[in-house]
Structure 1
């Protein structure tokens, strides 16, 4: 599916479910990792995660679009468009849009296999485990103020 086809689908779903036009842009964003879609408040555009469409198909895509259109139409009308707002939850039920999208199992597994970096204080042997590498010349031990050295990555 191309961005133009997605735009057309969003416009059709908006007209069918909300009886209101969608007057902004809808497009795929390949950088989205943990979300099915995103409604942008400043531009009123809708971004969709292409991987979820490729993995789950058109039905999941329609659910994501309906969810984002709920944000869109409520925000345009000045009503409660956030997930915790009553207006939003009621509109989700009315149009049958999901509150959350499905997750791709591969993404969850790859997110769990993050490399961890282990550091240790030279003076008191305090261990520090970090997701990101850090410059040991800039930091000191939080317990004793000693020098920190890099041990290993796991």
Structure 2
């Protein structure tokens, strides 16, 4: 989507859902990382994260546009435009905008851990780094460890 198309989309959403025109610029800002959009209090311009459109789709992006337009219209009308204000929450609910941008992070790969078993008590432990089994003993029974192998898991290391 180009800047002209974005401006047209924001103007259409503003007229259809808020019954008010937008008189300022709407731009894509590739530097936005953790937020879907930003309303500038000084210039009244709107910035939007293009990654939301790419990864989450048009419907989610329109929800972000509605959110930023709530800030825009409430600020220009002199009402409470911050997230904590009742006027903002009510207007956001009325236009069915998004309260939060969905996460854009890729799912993490499972971590790999070295797994060891105590020869004496049989307890199993996992470590991120391999250790010398001749040097270390089990904390529970002071028995020696044997290396089982490497395991993939999403959990953190268990002591």
Question: Normalized against structure 2, the TM-score is what?
Answer: 0.66
Residues 5-154 of structure 1 aligned to structure 2 (within 5 Å): 5-106=5-106
The C-alpha deviation readout for 1:25-79, integer Å capped at 9, x for no partner, is 0010000000000000000011000011111110011000000000000000000
Distance in 1 of aligned mates of 2:36 and 2:58: 13
Q: What secondary structure is seen at the aligned counterpart in 2 of 1:38?
A: strand
Aligned equivalents of 1:59 and 1:11: distance in 2?
16
Secondary structure, aligned partner of 1:105: coil
Q: Which runs of structure 1 show a deviation greater than 4 angstroms over 4 or more consecutive aligned residues?
A: none
Q: Distance in 2 between matches of 1:46 and 1:39?
A: 5
TM-score (norm 1): 0.68
Distance in 2 (CA, whole Å) between partners of 1:9 and 1:61 is 10
Larger CA Rg, structure 1 vs 2: 2
> What is the root-mean-square deviation in Å for CA atoms of aligned residues?
1.4
Distance in 2, Cα, partners of 1:72 & 1:105: 27
- 1:98 CA displacement: 1.2
